[in-house]
Amino acid sequence: MITPEDFWSRINVTEPDSCWEWCGARKPPWGYGQVRIERRAYHAHRLAWEIANGQEIPAGLVVMHKCDNPPCCNPAHLSIGTVAQNSVDMVEKGRACFGERNGMSKLTAELVRKMRDEYAAGGVSQRAIAKAYGISQGHVCAVLAGRRWPEMEAS
């Protein structure tokens, strides 16, 4: 087991209000600090919260970063919350990967505009648009209605 002294020695502790970054291994692609203890990997910020608070993280909760800096282990920057609270926090701070920022997206803003223009002009079905763009008809419907790509004005 890692001792608190050994754990804190792996962190660049600076000013009380600054981020204290983990200096060891980081988990790609986000850069969270990673600690291996007896063949198991732990996120460093979770251990920082547990050590600083003298208790385990309650079941079903996550440790959230107020600073949005994944390798930060400053207990003042960490808080406990639900997955839903963490997701809301991510969206409110503009860190969610919607639209073109999502690496899995088959659409771009330009394609969404083109799709909406084609449908508005008439003569083409949602099914035909879906086939042309390699997405489902349900996805086309959601794009046209503004439930997907809501940041762009829907027709």
Give the pLDDT confidence of 45-81 residue by residue, as tens digits.
999 999 999 999 999 999 999 999 999 999 999 999 9
Query: 29: pLDDT confidence band, cut at 50, 70 and 90?
Result: confident
Residue 35 has pLDDT above 60, yes or no: yes
Which range of residues forms the domain containing residue 39?
4-92
pLDDT tens-digit map of 99-114: 776 767 888 889 999 9
Q: Would the pTM count as exceeding 0.75?
A: no
pLDDT at 98: 67
Total domains present in the chain: 2
Do 68 and 111 share a domain, yes or no? Answer: no
CA distance 10 to 141: 51
Handedness of CA 136, 107, 155, 148 (dihedral sign): positive
pLDDT at 106: 87
pLDDT tens-digit map of 7-28: 999 999 999 999 999 999 998 8
Do 82 and 123 share a domain, yes or no? Answer: no
Do 106 and 77 share a domain, yes or no? Answer: no
Has residue 153 been placed in a domain?
no
Has residue 21 been placed in a domain?
yes
Type and span of the H or E element at 63: strand 62-65
Q: Which positions ≥6 away from 68 have C-beta within 8 Å?
A: 93, 95
pLDDT tens-digit map of 116-154: 999 999 999 999 999 999 999 999 999 999 888 877 665
